[in-house]
Structure 1
Amino acid sequence: MLQFRLKKGMEISDDLLQHIVYADEVKKAYQQALYFLAHRMRSEHEVAAHLRKKGAPDSVIDEVLKKLRAERYVDDEAFAAAYVRTQKKTAAKGPLLVRAELERLGVPDRLIEQSLAEYTLDEQMAIARSLYEKAKKQRRDESARAFLERVRQQLMRKGFPHEVIAAVLADGGTHTEQEEREALSVQAEKAHRRYAHHPRPLYEQKMRQALYRKGFALDLINEWLRMHGNDE
């Protein structure tokens, strides 16, 4: 109340009362914003949405954001730069996913472009290769084609551009011939248990279809069928 120079017994006009109420709303919203910002950096859009959810009118939100900007509690440029650094290093996210998240957080396009310019192609390739190698170590009993498609989908979900994904998959290498045969054997045994009761011609047809859908080459499938021609 000191800012309004109020004294005991002083008559308060409607105009002054409105100013007092407004100042109190701004002060309250400012404290709410500081508490919200205490946990991590936030975009201006996040702060505004939080205050709006708390019931603050737009005029109060604008006033609070103006004060927060002046005191450097919010800075979308610094926020975007820090967000890109964090997401690429700790979450292995590609630039397309990071861009989508920054857009959702209300960061202006100009600042998104500026921050993503620091996410170099070399960094994208290195992170995508790391994800590829991790997937390779955890490889299931699957064909090379199925493996590559699974990794392709993973890298797309992570937000890497098509050209980066294509380069990583081309450079990475896949199964050796022996690994491909071993994976085929595992999948063929599973399919065999499903179709063994069929007459041989229908059995072979269903086996070929099932294994081809799994990504195995027809010559390897036919080789396996020849080798197991007498299996019950």
Structure 2
Amino acid sequence: MRKITRITTQKKHKNRYNIFLNEGQDEKYGFSVDETILIEYKLRKGLELDDSMITTLVQKDNVHKSYTQAINFLSYRMRTKKEIYDYLVKKEVEPEHITQIMEKLESQNLLDDKLFAEMFVRTRMNTSSKGPLLIKKELLEKGVSASIAASAVENYPYEIQYEKILKWVDKKLNRGKKESFRKQKQKLQGTLMQKGFTQDVIKDALANINEEKDEDAEWDALIYQGEKLLRKHQVKLDGYELRNKLKEGLFRKGFSIELINRFLDESLDKTHDHYE
């Protein structure tokens, strides 16, 4: 048995205490504990401790220090169970201590993946241009179960997805760009899928922008692309082969057959007149 000879407050951490024990006739530093451990075990000068109790106190204090670190990690924002677990592993906390800490945090309602997922979806929905499928992927990466993630993204309604897509498309659709309207729509569709929006809402929202198609801008874009192709191919091709090559190239670029034929009639006639 060893007796506590003195208890002092640490200078830098006022809620931690140094415990000194007798070493024969001398005194020696034994260990330190948090105030909660000091109170729980009624540590005081003159109290006798055996080796197993000292080991218990040190372990209890280690758990408390790790628990405090976890609380601090949680103070910045909510975390998933996996995030807390990974954090404690990174801090090299003993596996059995991690279990104790996780159970304590859950009992205090400080770890709740369902609540985390719901708040995460709400925040992403209000502050980003991401769709529900991408947000669900983020939740899965944070360790939220598939069922909880799926349930949470149901709080991202079709109507909000639709409005968000329309606003985003309105900013990104460049009517002065030298590309066909269809080509621009295809690119927008691809980007929206990457952003995690569902197929049905993408289709509905993009169908809505067909009414905004600018025929003059479309014709200007076709002339720009058509003249580029003409300069490229007229060196080696002429007649039917040239016309077919231009038609094929412009169709791949998303222009309508009607506009393509109009361009070919006008531009190839001019080319023919030029050579005559």
TM-score, normalising length from structure 2? 0.73
Deviates more, 1:189-198 or 1:221-230: 189-198
Measured against aligned partners, the alpha-carbon deviations of 1:77-120 in whole angstroms (never above 9, x if no partner) come to: 33212111111111122111111111111123443344323222
Equivalent residue, structure 2, for 1:204? 243
Q: Distance in 2 between matches of 1:28 and 1:11?
A: 22
Q: 2:260 is matched with which residue: 221, 224, 230? A: 221
Question: Match for 2:87: what amino acid?
Answer: H
Q: Does 1:160 align with 2:197?
A: yes
User: Cα distance 1:21–1:177, how it changes in 2: closer, same or farther (>3 A)?
Assistant: same
Separation in 2, partners of 1:195, 1:157? 35
- Does 2:228 align with 1:190? yes
Q: Which has the higher strand share?
A: 2
Residue 79 of structure 1 aligns to which amino acid in structure 2?
A: F
Q: CA–CA distance in 2 between the matches of 1:117 and 1:222?
A: 48
The number of residues matched between the two structures is 231
Query: Amino acid of the residue matched to residue 195 of structure 1?
Result: H
Q: How many Å apart are 1:22 and its aligned residue? A: 2.9
Bigger shift: 176-185 or 63-72? 63-72
Aligned: 1:64 with 2:101: yes
Judge which range, 72-81 or 180-189, deviates more: 72-81
Match of 1:108 in 2: 145
Residue range with higher mean Cα deviation, 130-139 or 101-110: 130-139
* Partner secondary structure for residue 56 of structure 1: coil
Q: CA deviation at 1:17?
A: 4.8
Higher percent of residues as helix: 1
Q: Offset of 1:188 from its aligned partner? A: 1.7
- What CA deviation, in whole Å up to 9, does each residue of 1:143-195 have, x standing for no partner? 12212211211211111111111111222215233222111112123323433
Q: Secondary structure at the match of 2:50?
A: coil
Q: Work out whether residues 175 and 217 of structure 2, in 8 Å CA contact, stay in contact via their aligned partners in 1.
A: no
> Which structure's CA Rg is the greater one?
2
Indicate the larger mover: 24-33 or 119-128. Answer: 24-33
2:182 to 103, 125, 145: 145
Match in the other structure for 1:38: 75
The match for 1:13 is 51
The alignment-based identity, stated in percent, is 31
Taking the aligned partners of 1:203 and 1:24, their CA distance within structure 2 comes to 84
Q: Which has the higher contact order (CA 8 A, sep 6+)?
A: 1
What is the TM-score with the length of structure 1 in the denominator?
0.85
- Ranges in structure 2 where 5+ consecutive residues have no aligned partner: 1-32
Question: Could you say which residue in structure 1 is the equivalent of 2:134?
Answer: 97
* Residue 24 of structure 1: aligned partner: 61
Aligned pair in 2 of structure 1 residues 213, 63: CA closer, same or farther (>3 Å)? same
